[in-house]
Each structure stands twice: as C-alpha cells, then as structure tokens.
Chain A
Amino acid sequence: MLTATFAVLFYTATVVLVLGLAARVYLYARTPAPLRIPTTPAPTTRGGAALRVTGEVVAFRSLFRGEKLLWLLSWAFHVALLLVILRHLRYFLDPVPQWLVWIQPLGLYAAYILAAALIGLWLRRLWIDRVRRISTPADHAALALLLAIGLTGLGLQHFQATDIVAVKAFFIGLMQFSWQPLPAEPLLLLHLTLVAVLMMVFPFSKLLHAAGVFFSPTRNQPDNPRERRHIAPWARALEQDAPQPKQE
C-alpha cells in the first residue's frame, strides 16, 4: 500500500513536472517577440547573445552587478542544489558511473551549503524591509519547502540509518515499471513527499524563472535592428494598407 502510494505519487509528480514545464516552454517559444528590445550595450550577433545568456545562467552576471550579498547567497544555493541533485543520481543509475562516485563527498558538503544559503536568503528576506515588503506567502513557502527538503535529507544522512539499497531498488523499479518495496521510515517518507510536492508546484510557481531566464528578450536578442528587419507574424498584417513609394 505504502509502496503503491509513493509510486503513484512519483509518477504523478514526474508527469506534472515534465508536461507542465514543457507546456510553459512551448508557450514562451511560440509567443512572438515583436520588437528588438535587448538591454544595451548588447552583443550584435546570435553567438554573442547566447554567451550573454550563458553568463546569466552560469554566473548570474546581472545580479552580481545588482547586489553582492544576494548574488553570493543565491549562487551558492544554486550550485549546491546542482551538486546535491547530481549526488542523488546514484539512486537512479546502475551501475554508478565513476564520476558520480567521485562527486559523492562534494554533494554532501553541498548539502550544508544548501541549507545555510537558504537560511541566509530567508533571513535577508525578513531583514531588509524593502524585500520583506515585496514578499508574498508563496515566497516564504518556497524557501520553507526547499529548506525542509534539505534538512530532512541531512537528517537521513546523519540521524536515521536508511536502507539506501532498498531506496535505490524502489526508484529503479519505478523506472522499469516493476515496483519494489519502499522502506517505511518516517523521515524518508517525509523527504520524498516534500520532493514530490516541489516537483508538482514547479511549473505553477516562481520556480519558472528556471525556464524564463532563457526566453528573456532583453538578454537573448542580438542588437542588430538596423541590419536586419524583424517582423512578427501578427505585425505583418498591419502592412497591407501602408502607403507605397512611388514607382519610377
């Protein structure tokens, strides 16, 4: 019963995450950007614009210009999250590749950084009156959810010996559609439930910034409006009755 519940939960969460995100990305990609609006100075080529977006995704370049403390906390959080997620790949891959074995300790340190950075971000949100004022319940909820996932994960590592072989068997079983029993440990079940919740709220929350950052016209457009004529499909229709130059 427990295994079935969690199996259904994770299938559902995966479907919601993948389809929800895909639908959003499709919507962004399909919506036209009628005018050139890169924030200048901007690269003049496509390749340059791709580099600019890469700088935003990898190094949070604009945020670095905006606020150093926030940059440090959020960059540390995202890198730590990436390492922690990579570390968890061992529950889904059999055999575990060598590079994944190597990064296991890194992933563990990262978990502490993850929790510390989240606490820092939350304190900042509460401390600075400007930021406190703009916060919504959903902003606090997102931090609480991520922190709870991090803390339950650390708890599993340190305070509750978990049968990780069984956990791995459960997830591999999910992927192969042959369900294996999930250990009935409360902290583990809490950790997994929270992760499933995170996956399901992702496409409906501000976590969509992960997709949005790639589609932001002020960052991903090359600055070439004099050199090329860009015209959105809906705008072309407006040209029908425009006056034409006199023919010579």
Chain B
Amino acid sequence: MSQESFQVPPLAADPEANGPPQPETEATGHVRPHPAGPEHQEALGFPGEIPDDWQERALARMESLLERNRALRVYMDACVRCGACTDKCHFYLGTGDARNMPVARQDLMRDVYRRHFTPVGRNFPSLVRGRELTREVMEAWFTYFHQCSQCRRCSVFCPYGIDTAEISMAAREILDAAGFGQKYTNEIIGKVHKVGNNLGLPGPALEDTLEGLEEDLKDDTGHDIRIPLDQEGADILLVTPSADFFAEPHVDGLMGYAKVLHQAGLSWTLSSYASEAANFGMFIGSYEQMKQIAERIRKAAVDLGVKRIVVGECGHAWRVAYSFWNTLAGIGRGADADDTYARALQRQLDPRYPVPQHICEVTQDLVERGAIRLDPEANSHYGGVTFHDSCNVARASRMGQRPGGQLEIPRQLLRASVHNFRDMADATIGDETFCCGGGGGLLTDELMELRVKGAQPRVSALRETMDEHGVDRMVAICAICKAQFSKILPYYDIPRETVISLHEVVGNAVRLDRSEA
C-alpha cells in the first residue's frame, strides 16, 4: 500500500456540536477518481473518448434532464443561499473544502444553469454568477460531484428540501454523456450487465463459495443449514449485495440470513442470474441503467417462479428496491388495470407480503409471530453494540407499515439480540445520520483521503459511545458501510473488526432448535 500523504482529522470531542471548519478553497481539490476508460464507457453506451462536441452534448443532456425531472428543475431555481446546509455535510466537516458545502457543490451546476438556461444569466451573467460550461468547469464537476456520497443529509435541513443527491446524480449523468465517466462505477455496472454481479463472480464460482459456506455453517452449528442457489419453485428469492458472498464482515451476515430462514423453515433461493442487489445505476443518475439492472431481478423472479422477493443488507440497494423497483421493473403492487407489464409479475407474487421485503422486516416478523426466538446470551461476548443508520435506508426508504420503521426495526432486532445496546449521539443517528464516507460510488482506493476525512463525524460519535458506554461493536446494514468502515476505522485507531453485520448478531442469537425430521 502506498504511503498516505494526508492528515487524519482529529475527532470531535462533542459529536453533537462538531464545529464546522473554516472554509478553505480547494482543500481536497486534488482528490478525484480515475476516469473511465473507453471500454467501460462504451459498454454503457457513453462516448469512449471526450468528443469534440462535448459541450453541446453536455448542455443537450442537461436540457433533457431539466425537462424530465421536476426535482432538478425546481432545485435549480429555489435555492436562496441561506446557508442552513453549509455545516451539514460530512465531507465538508471532514475536509473543510469550501466546495463541499452542499450549496457550493450545487452551485457548480446552478451557475451553469443560470448562464445557459435563464434570461437573466444569459444577459447579465456577472450579476447572478452565471458560468459558461467550460472544460475547467467540467473538471470541477468531475472532482466535486465525486466528493458527494448522495447521502441526502443536507436535504433534511433545507427549507425547500433541495436534495444534493438529485443534483449530483444529474451532474454525473451529464458528465457520462459528454465522455467524462468515472471508472469505478461504470466498470462495475458493466460487470453486472455481463455477469450478474458487481464482483464479476460467475455462477459456478458462486456455487462453490456457497457450498463452502454451508460447510462452515455445519461446523459452527451442527445443523444442515442450506444456502440454495437457482432453486426453481422456491417461495422466496433473496437478492443480496454480492459482497455478502465473500467479504468480511458481510459474509457473516449472509450466514445469519441462512440461519434465520432455516430456523423458520422457509423455502428460499439465491439466483446466479440476479446475484446482485446493488444497483450502481443510481449513483450515475441513469434511469435507463438502473432499469436495466432492476430487470434482472424481475427476470429471475419470473424464471424461478418465486412468491416473495427479499432484499439483503444494503443501503442504496434497499433504496432502489423499496423506492424504485416498482416504477422501474414492476416489482411491487398497485399497478393500473392496463399495466400488463407490472400485473404479470404481481399475479405471481403472494399478496400477503410486501414487495420487495427487507430481510430485517422478514426477521422481525418471524420474531413477532414466535416463529424464531432470539437469545441475547449468545452475544454476551460483545461488550456493547451500537447501530449505524445507513443514509439510504434512513433517509430514502422505509421498513414496516409506519414511517420511521426503517429506524425502529433494526434496533428492535438488536435489542432482542444483545444485552447492551447503545445509540450514538442523537444528532448523528436516525434521519440525521452521518454517512460512512464511502457511499454513492466513492468506495475506491484513489479516494482514500476523502473517505477517511468524510468518516470523521461518524467516527467521532462512535468513539464517544465506545469511551462512555463500553461499546465495542458497530452494526451496519449496508455492504458499502461495512466495507468502508473495515478499511477506515484503523486510521482512527479503532479495530476493523468493530463493524459487523446486523444478521451476524441476529444469527448468533437465533435459537436453532427446529426439529429436522
């Protein structure tokens, strides 16, 4: 590993009052992702090289986005630069870069919008700070729209609900259309289209991996707990982030799902065709890419003839599944009578369950019905456990029937599974949760400085619960959060093993006493 040349920021003593730093010009202007090569661009239908007419293409794309997305249209006009968002972004708090204040990030696009799309900006650009879309501006977009993890924390505090995630998604879509793609995200989307998952793990390799995990489960528990693959006629299709198949601590979560489903006696299967819950199409704002990836889930559900669709632990994946799958691929309910596309799948699915359903909803339902029992004694080796609300789960989805279920259900499961559960500081959890620093397509090594600095607000709150309440584990329900924390916690002198999967904790606690007759 290369020698790092940046300072890890000091943790805030009081994570509730994480004093905003003085804004500094281009403090992290040098941190930018690798551009996508021609093969990764062309696989998604984007220009391989930056074409001569890139500016025309970018402005044409921007115009079409303004016409097809009300959020972008309204958010370009509505900002009054009141500054309520300026101290809310974890990347600003961690880097002090003035461009990481949400309004300043948005203004990278808004200045261009005013110059090219409003009468005042076209005629008096200096009055409203209109900016021509030059090559230099595109480079600034590439840098700073990849210093946004699309976590939506700023949007919570905006008087008009302006969502920087929407603007950063649109910016990345414009960048892609003009040939300025980002390697990490676009390469991964290509793999999903080709192989079915972000890792590029082919079916036979997946089968091997799962067999190995079944052996581990047998050794650990003495029970024949299966992780079925491509089982036609199974009741439940489980779609989970591919990191669950091998990464630590993700894989312990997968084994936890298997224990719960085994104990409840449910019939389920994974799919090698749809072996990925993640949908990086969201990160680049592309409706078309997102839809294409979501179609894989629909096809697998249809081909396997399942009655339910359940999603594993992943933040943005749950946002796409919960909020977008119904729209994108008809995976949901309430289609119009003439909507034959969506109705075809709906007829196949069991109307007694939500579509899609989060694994935490499934487990909580089983606990409530008494179908499984949780024994916190099994987790007495933990000193104390806290919970990191993943941004996309907390601020862009729901679990259960009532608003806020996405915050309550994971906590109910944890309280039932451990003796000492402690929340972190109020202003850092729930819908005010701080991003892990690696979401939104930033989980790549060349952005390590940004990732470490952006984690400062979250780690400050974690450190406080560790020091004051003896917490030694932080549970996450997102594959990106887990990977990010495993990597960056050591920078703050916290062991990487601190971050664990929710279903590892639940899996330990579930009483495996089903008669296997």
Contact = CB atoms under 8 A, between A and B. Distances in A.
Interface stretch (A144-152, A184-192, A238-246): A238-246
Nearest to B320: A35
A7 B394 CA distance: 55
A134 B333 contact: no
Interface in B73-87: 73-75, 77-87
Nearest to B301: A245
Interface string A41-77: 1111000000000001000101101110010001000
Contacts of A44: 398, 402-403
Contact of A232 (B22, B68, B73, B78): B68
A154 interface: no
Interface stretch (A110-118, A173-181, A202-210): A202-210
A234 B69 CA distance: 10
Given A209-B160, A225-B327, A41 B77 contact: no
A157 interface: no
A41 B333 contact: no
Given A242-B341, A245-B348, A56 B323 contact: no
Contact of A225 (B74, B120, B324): B324
Nearest to B68: A234
Contacts of A32: 68-70
Interface stretch (A88-96, A97-105, A212-220): A212-220
A12 interface: no
Contacts of B329: 242
Contacts of B234: none
Given A209-B78, A215-B74, A238-B288, A229 B335 contact: yes
Interface in B152-170: 152, 155-163, 166
Given A40-B397, A134-B101, A204-B119, A229 B332 contact: yes
Contact of A129 (B22, B85, B295, B324): B22
A133 B101 CA distance: 10
Interface stretch (B126-134, B251-259, B445-453): B126-134
Given A218-B161, A234-B68, A37 B323 contact: yes
Contact of A226 (B157, B339, B356): B356
Interface stretch (A79-87, A135-143, A163-171): A135-143
A39 interface: yes
* Candidate in B77, B88, B303 with the most chain A CB atoms within 10 angstroms: B77
The number of chain A residues touching the other chain, given as a range, is: 35 or more
Contact of B158 (A28, A62, A229, A232): A62
Contacts of A219: 160-161
Interface in B321-375: 322-324, 326-327, 329-330, 332-336, 339, 341-342, 344-345, 348, 354-356
Contacts of A135: 81
27 contacts: A31-B73, A32-B69, A33-B69, A36-B324, A37-B71, A37-B166, A43-B403, A60-B159, A63-B84, A67-B157, A131-B86, A134-B101, A138-B128, A204-B120, A206-B81, A208-B77, A209-B80, A212-B78, A213-B160, A215-B70, A217-B71, A218-B162, A227-B334, A228-B334, A229-B330, A229-B335, A244-B344
Given A225-B324, A228-B334, 20 more contacts: A31-B69, A31-B70, A31-B73, A32-B68, A33-B69, A63-B82, A65-B156, A130-B23, A131-B81, A133-B98, A134-B86, A138-B128, A209-B78, A212-B75, A212-B78, A212-B160, A215-B70, A225-B322, A229-B330, A242-B329
Interface of A: 24, 27-28, 31-37, 39-44, 56, 60, 62-63, 65-67, 70, 74, 125, 128-131, 133-139, 141, 204-206, 208-209, 212-213, 215-219, 223, 225-232, 234-235, 238-239, 242-246
